[in-house]
Amino acid sequence: MNKTNILGLSRDSLKTFLEKFGEPAYRGDQVFKWIQKRGVKSFDEMTDISLALRKRLFEEAELCALDMITSIKAADETEKLAFRTRDGLVIESVLIPDNSGSRLTLCVSSQAGCRMNCTFCRTAKIGFHRNLTVAEILDQAILASKAAKKGNGSGTEGNTKRITNLVFMGMGEPLANLERLIEAIRILMDDQGLNFSSRRITVSTCGLVPAMDVLGRAVSIKPAVSLNAATNEVRDMLMPINRRYPLAELIDACRKYPLARRDRITFEYVLIDGINDSVTDARELVRLLSDVKAKVNLIPFNEFKGSGFRRPPREKVEAFQKVLLDKGLAAMLRSSRGDDISAACGQLAGEIGSYSLYQE
């Protein structure tokens, strides 16, 4: 018999599921809390549930989706976690503490691989395997929360061990797995579960215009758009999706995106030497975003073997940033976290230690 994976169920769906066993609605709340908030991985740990119900659940349901296979920590305390799915794929999440120790961000994957084919991104090189399920998206947060709490204590004194922020910037294009993404976000925001507020969840997209519209109406999260170029000519070359949804359409979707009064869309801009990093490019970018509520995150390109691209020299990066700032466009320079363990932006390729997503 196929067991139902109740890890991927919202609290309401879990209640409906348990009703079939003649259970009252509040039982759904109890079980939900055990799974989503306390992160238990066996029914035996649910000590306020009757033995009889635990036994039935054991027979008809499951609550695991991923196995954590390994984790490695970078010199800057960024930690990459590798998980194996039931069908043997390896996906990754990254725990990123901030310098002040008050914030701990989890970078979550939405797909195994990616089919967007951005020419500068390492995840693209492994191709696309499949969408992650709701349970697999949630299990990254649940297992990472447990890993963070345990920690190893080394040099993390005084740092928060609770994940405070989620960013959907791991492997894959979240908006290409839209329904599951939305369902997972709703469960992550449930106050009986991990209880993330909408202000602490960021979803990044390469620019799937119709899906942006759906997302904006379905949940309130902080949107981020990977822009990476200010002209169609350059963006077509870096991001094939631009041929389908060119800049004018993308910027229009950004203008229409529902935002709280003080909120802005984050635009990520990977700076690549000689490709999109000139002062002219910077001016184009200012012009492009002139009537968008925008802030820009500048990410100097993370080099990897065979990419054919290079990181610009520091002076060019600073000159680029200066143009934006001088024109009143908020622009942060992102330091690359976890670079030494391939945990930085665009480096997730399912290879960690001896594990590999490629099955050769």
The helix (H) or strand (E) run that includes residue 32 is helix 25-32
Write the CA distances from 111 to 182, 210, 244, integer angstroms. Answer: 14, 19, 21
Our finding on whether 165 is near ligand SAH (CB under 6 A) is no
**Ranges within 41-80 binding ligand SAH (CB under 6 A):** none
If one asks whether residue 341 binds ligand SAH (CB under 6 A), the answer comes out as no
> Does residue number 268 form part of the binding site for ligand SAH (CB under 6 A)?
yes
Task: List the interface residues with ligand SAH, window 74-133 (CB under 6 A).
Answer: 120-122
* Closest of 260, 270, 268, 269 to residue 222, by C-alpha: 260
Helix 178-188 vs helix 209-218: angle between axes, to the nearest 10 degrees? Answer: 30
Tokens of 85: 């799915």
Q: Is 333 helix (H, G, I), strand (E, B) or coil?
A: strand
Q: How far is CA 149 from CA 163, 173, 226, 337, in A?
A: 9, 28, 31, 20
Helix (H, G, I), strand (E, B) or coil at 135: helix
Q: Are 15 and 5 in contact (CB under 8 A)?
A: no
Q: How far is the CB of 216 from ligand SAH (least distance, A)?
A: 16
What is residue 282's three-state secondary structure? helix
Binding to ligand SAH by residue 228, rule CB under 6 A?
A: yes
Is 59 among the catalytic positions?
A: no
Q: Is residue 345 flagged as an active site residue?
A: yes
Which of helix, strand or coil describes residue 339?
A: helix
Decide whether 58 or 304 has the Cβ nearer to ligand SAH.
304
Residue choice 74, 106, 137, 299 for contact with ligand SAH (CB under 6 A) = 299
Give yes or no for residue 202 binding ligand SAH (CB under 6 A): no
| 302 touching ligand SAH, by CB under 6 A | yes
Which position among 92, 136, 183, 268 bears the catalytic label? Answer: 92
Q: Which of 23, 62, 139, 173 binds ligand SAH (CB under 6 A)?
A: 173
Phi-psi region of 155 (alpha: psi -120 to 50; beta: other; left: phi over 0): left
Taking each continuous run of H as one helix and of E as one strand, the counts in the chain are 12, 16
When the beta carbons of 189 and 343 are compared against ligand SAH, the nearer one is: 343
The reply to whether 343 sits near ligand SAH by the rule CB under 6 A is no
| Closest approach of ligand SAH to the CB of residue 68, in Å | 21
In whole angstroms, the minimum distance from the beta carbon of 48 to ligand SAH comes to: 39
Residues that bind ligand SAH (CB under 6 A): 120-122, 169, 173, 204-206, 226, 228, 268, 270, 299, 301-302, 345-346
> Which residues are part of the catalytic machinery?
92, 345
